[in-house]
Structure 1
Amino acid sequence: MHAISRRTLLTGTAGTAALAAFPSLAQAKTLTALGHRVHQTCATTGPGGDATEAWRQQSGAGINWVTFGDNNAIHERLLREVTLGETSIDVGYLLNGRAVPRNLRLFEPLDGLMKEAALESPEDFAPGLIAPLKLDGALHGIPVRHATNALIYNEALLEERGVKLPATFEELIEAARKLTFKRDDGTQVYGLAFTAVFASNFLTLARCLGGDYMTPDGKLVAAEPGMVKALTTLAELYKAGVLPRSFATVNNEEITSWMQQGRAAMTINPFARLVTYNDASKGKYGGRFKSLLPPMASDLIGKVSFAPTVEYWSLAIPKNAKQKPLSWDLIRALSSKAGTKAMALNGNGPTRVSTYADPALIAAMPYAADEAAALKASRIHLPAFDEQARAHDIFIEETQAAVLGIKPAQQAMDDAVKRVKPLLG
């Protein structure tokens, strides 16, 4: 894999055209960007080169990165800053779960800036990432990093147990049962394991049955047959020991360890986890992990399309920021085709579908075609509304009650609907 030429990284995408549109840009010296540490790393370091270098040379401006290692800390700081009379934060990274109407109103509508300096090929962004960033018809952010869920499996364990790759949801459940066993040394292997604190993980399976918690337009459908059947199935798997006893508390680090050690055969996680799982230095199964979009139920194949769950970060400009044209210019550079490719080679989840067709990315990500198809069809776990976070927690609480056998699935989802409905205003 070859590094991208830093001299040509942003040619024709940002910089010169924007500087002509905004003559004052050259006078500005520093932008402050607030986000996660990984955002800075992916933008500046790795095989793809520094995605900001050409922009900094052309604009004469620098970037002051203010980063945290915790998502809550990022949003606590960012959402506090945007409520002040003025802020020193020029560009902020906003996670889709926080991109709700109440918060989006605190960020600059981008339509006017886009008229002055156009965004390169806006149709190239995955549709499911753009719609949630619109408020009253105006766009308030540009998606720059995503994590889309897949079913990740250990093909060595499938071979060992004589299990074929599932083509239907029913075959997937049967495969999970067959992949649950105890080794001669007493080691328990679970057919399926995933963290139970994210709605997106449950929805990855529920959508195979046409189930969901809510529709994109905000209709509550959690108590309808698809979701109830999914949770009933998971409850049966938990009772049978296919899911781990510690299902409610197991975290992603433990899941990673179990996958690498061959203690779990399948998991629900973003495609990007394949890189970690396939690290040969971490276990004897390096190179044997593959991804699969969970298959639809047999009676829905060809009738309903699977919608993978996705989480993503966007770049937004606080309404009370002082250097909006320059901030927009940086966003254009980072979200351009060249910027997206550079960051993708540095480990970022590219939000442009076309990036996945680049030979350099295909060489670095053998699963690129699968992730591109998933991203194109992806949809967030819950629609954006002000009480989304509380609703998410309620859904998780009731879902876990169903899977652990504390409540029948139908009752749990009836209760979830009853509790979430008042939050919709």
Structure 2
Amino acid sequence: MSKQLPPISLPLSRRGLGLLAAGAASSLALGGSVFAQGKALTALGHRVHQTSATTGPAGDATEAWRKQAGASVNWVTFGDNNAIHERLLREVTLGETSIDVGYLLNGRAVPRNLRLFEPLDALMKDAPLEAPDDFAPGLIAPLKLDGALHGIPVRHATNALIYNEAILEERGVTKLPATFEELVELARKLTFKRDDGTQVQGLAFTAVFASNFLTLARCLGGDYMTPDGKLVAAEAPMVKALSTLADLYKAGVLPRNFATVNNEEITTWMQQGRAAMTINPFARLVTYNDPQKGKYGGRFKSLLPPMSADLAGKVAYAPTVEFWSLVIPKNAKQKPLSWDLIRALSSKAGTRTMALNGNGPTRISTYADPALMAAMPYAADEAAALKASRIHLPAFDEQARAHDIFIEETQAAILGIKPAQAAMDDAVKRVRPLLG
């Protein structure tokens, strides 16, 4: 199961101060590629994919490529992730498809699906990708199958801890937590009732995404599964993380409707000062800090959750990430031209343009761009987080079912329905048969 918000909610209001001028746009042109004039490609994705690629303060990331290739791009877009994948995965099973380039969310990039998309190695050999080592490594590994790369990451949402510094000041907090244990105590201190009767939650986040729980569990070295597919949910670090969250729920630090609260409600609580901290992608800072949406505009900051005292300085923290990739259906008819478009969009210039238009850039170097740094005060923090990021579960065909089982058992542990150890023992028992 994939987050309903991060893949599509990287805001269009990441305002870049500098635009891509003609010189920068011309660097998008991939010299040496010659295609017949009048060709057209069809790209399938979310509406925000088209918007970030073609509209915004930085201009159209496809313009130079279209002129150079003598081709056009027809966009087929949906506003729902499930609709995108239903259409895409149906198209790739046909004898041939009119879809030339598709956007694939990492939760759908499982072996069964990746086999339906063109391995890119041969295309990359004939027309190399610009600076392939510039992409965050945690976004490349999930796209490989049997040693071959099947997609190029172009948009991400990486989790952080977002806090309201005004509430910290209200509670007399002058120092950010340096360890996970200090973070837990901070969440307790930030849970209080104001004189007007307003209840403030120290921590609030949606309980239907594994990535949110792992954002905290990884502070203790905990995980549901390792990148190579080993089940570790029932081991001490994950059990301790869930036991800690169960204690916070019992103490009222987490909201009473923890299991059902959605991200829209979390956003409202944060903007109204009814929640002090949340787990959400860095990009949410733009929405939270909008002065038109609440009295705390400009007071929200990001923090990578700190490791536990016994692991600090010994184990690197791995933030959770969700991302979209560009793929080419195996049954597509214009693969060299499709690859040329992917090269343009994922080039340094293309990545920069889309980033200034609101896209989450998948190249680390993009975060050092002066215009992006001016538009995103948290750029350096997000770059560091992205570079160390890792997806919530490794890719396997039954990943979605496994995700739902982990969430069901996790909620049972936090709500006190089961002890954390029993819940994770049951999760492992239920997930193991899904691994094949």
After TM superposition, the score normalised by the length of structure 1 is 0.97
Question: Would the alpha carbon gap of residues 5 and 348 (structure 1) be closer, same or farther in structure 2, given more than 3 Å must change?
Answer: closer
Q: Verify the 8 A CA contact 1:214 1:382 in the aligned structure 2.
A: yes
* 1:152 alignment partner in structure 2: 162
Distance in 2 of aligned mates of 1:28 and 1:95? 30
Per the TM alignment, residue 303 of structure 1 is displaced from its structure 2 partner at its CA by 1.0
Per the TM alignment, residue 244 of structure 1 is displaced from its structure 2 partner at its CA by 0.3
The answer to whether residue 191 in structure 2 is matched with residue 176 in structure 1 is no
Distance in 2 of aligned mates of 1:281 and 1:114? 46
The answer to whether residue 382 in structure 2 is matched with residue 376 in structure 1 is no
SS in structure 2 opposite 1:282? coil
Distance in 2 of aligned mates of 1:397 and 1:204? 17
The answer to whether residue 109 in structure 2 is matched with residue 99 in structure 1 is yes
Distance in 1 of aligned mates of 2:389 and 2:36? 39
Measured against aligned partners, the alpha-carbon deviations of 1:35-66 in whole angstroms (never above 9, x if no partner) come to 00110010011111110111111111111110
Q: Verify the 8 A CA contact 2:28 2:344 in the aligned structure 1.
A: yes
One-letter amino acid of the structure 1 residue matched with residue 435 of structure 2: L
SS in structure 1 opposite 2:178? coil
- In the TM superposition, what are the counterparts of 1:117-128 in structure 2 within 5 Å? 117-128=127-138
One-letter amino acid of the structure 2 residue matched with residue 145 of structure 1: R
Distance in 1 of aligned mates of 2:145 and 2:25? 30
Per the TM alignment, residue 9 of structure 1 is displaced from its structure 2 partner at its CA by 3.6
The answer to whether residue 106 in structure 2 is matched with residue 61 in structure 1 is no
* 2:206 alignment partner in structure 1: 195
Distance in 1 of aligned mates of 2:57 and 2:32? 27
One-letter amino acid of the structure 2 residue matched with residue 126 of structure 1: A
Measured against aligned partners, the alpha-carbon deviations of 1:218-257 in whole angstroms (never above 9, x if no partner) come to 0000000000000000000001110001100111110000
Match of 1:363 among 352, 374, 387: 374
* 1:141 alignment partner in structure 2: 151
Give the superposed CA RMSD: 1.0
Per the TM alignment, residue 165 of structure 1 is displaced from its structure 2 partner at its CA by 0.9
Per the TM alignment, residue 313 of structure 1 is displaced from its structure 2 partner at its CA by 0.1
Match of 1:257 among 248, 268, 277: 268
The answer to whether residue 227 in structure 2 is matched with residue 212 in structure 1 is no
One-letter amino acid of the structure 2 residue matched with residue 208 of structure 1: C
* 1:270 alignment partner in structure 2: 281
Match of 2:42 among 32, 51, 56: 32
SS in structure 2 opposite 1:16? coil
Match of 1:243 among 254, 273, 285: 254
Match of 1:75 among 74, 85, 100: 85
Q: Percent identity?
A: 86
One-letter amino acid of the structure 2 residue matched with residue 8 of structure 1: G
One-letter amino acid of the structure 2 residue matched with residue 7 of structure 1: A
Q: Verify the 8 A CA contact 2:52 2:359 in the aligned structure 1.
A: yes
Structure 1 residue runs without a partner (length 5+):
20-24
Distance in 2 of aligned mates of 1:278 and 1:353? 24
- In the TM superposition, what are the counterparts of 1:334-413 in structure 2 within 5 Å? 334-413=345-424
The answer to whether residue 27 in structure 2 is matched with residue 16 in structure 1 is no
Measured against aligned partners, the alpha-carbon deviations of 1:114-171 in whole angstroms (never above 9, x if no partner) come to 1111100000000000001001111000000000000000000001101231110000
* 1:44 alignment partner in structure 2: 54
SS in structure 2 opposite 1:217? coil
Q: Verify the 8 A CA contact 2:29 2:64 in the aligned structure 1.
A: no
Question: Would the alpha carbon gap of residues 5 and 170 (structure 1) be closer, same or farther in structure 2, given more than 3 Å must change?
Answer: closer
Q: Verify the 8 A CA contact 2:224 2:231 in the aligned structure 1.
A: yes
Distance in 1 of aligned mates of 2:185 and 2:166? 17
Q: Verify the 8 A CA contact 1:6 1:53 in the aligned structure 2.
A: no
One-letter amino acid of the structure 2 residue matched with residue 401 of structure 1: A
Q: Verify the 8 A CA contact 1:9 1:54 in the aligned structure 2.
A: no
One-letter amino acid of the structure 2 residue matched with residue 68 of structure 1: F
Q: Verify the 8 A CA contact 2:28 2:64 in the aligned structure 1.
A: no
Distance in 2 of aligned mates of 1:4 and 1:177? 44
Distance in 1 of aligned mates of 2:423 and 2:352? 44
Per the TM alignment, residue 404 of structure 1 is displaced from its structure 2 partner at its CA by 0.5
Distance in 1 of aligned mates of 2:409 and 2:58? 43
Per the TM alignment, residue 3 of structure 1 is displaced from its structure 2 partner at its CA by 4.1
Distance in 2 of aligned mates of 1:169 and 1:211? 12
Q: Verify the 8 A CA contact 1:14 1:329 in the aligned structure 2.
A: no
Distance in 2 of aligned mates of 1:314 and 1:424? 24
Per the TM alignment, residue 11 of structure 1 is displaced from its structure 2 partner at its CA by 3.1
Distance in 2 of aligned mates of 1:348 and 1:230? 32
Distance in 2 of aligned mates of 1:371 and 1:28? 40
Per the TM alignment, residue 102 of structure 1 is displaced from its structure 2 partner at its CA by 0.4
Structure 2 residue runs without a partner (length 5+):
1-15
* 1:22 alignment partner in structure 2: none
* 1:110 alignment partner in structure 2: 120
Per the TM alignment, residue 183 of structure 1 is displaced from its structure 2 partner at its CA by 1.1
Measured against aligned partners, the alpha-carbon deviations of 1:300-331 in whole angstroms (never above 9, x if no partner) come to 00111100000000000000001101100100
The answer to whether residue 301 in structure 2 is matched with residue 290 in structure 1 is yes
Question: Would the alpha carbon gap of residues 5 and 211 (structure 1) be closer, same or farther in structure 2, given more than 3 Å must change?
Answer: closer
Distance in 2 of aligned mates of 1:118 and 1:143? 15
State the number of aligned residues. 420
* 2:316 alignment partner in structure 1: 305
Q: Verify the 8 A CA contact 1:17 1:117 in the aligned structure 2.
A: no
Q: Verify the 8 A CA contact 2:158 2:382 in the aligned structure 1.
A: yes
Measured against aligned partners, the alpha-carbon deviations of 1:352-371 in whole angstroms (never above 9, x if no partner) come to 00000000000000000000
Distance in 1 of aligned mates of 2:344 and 2:220? 40
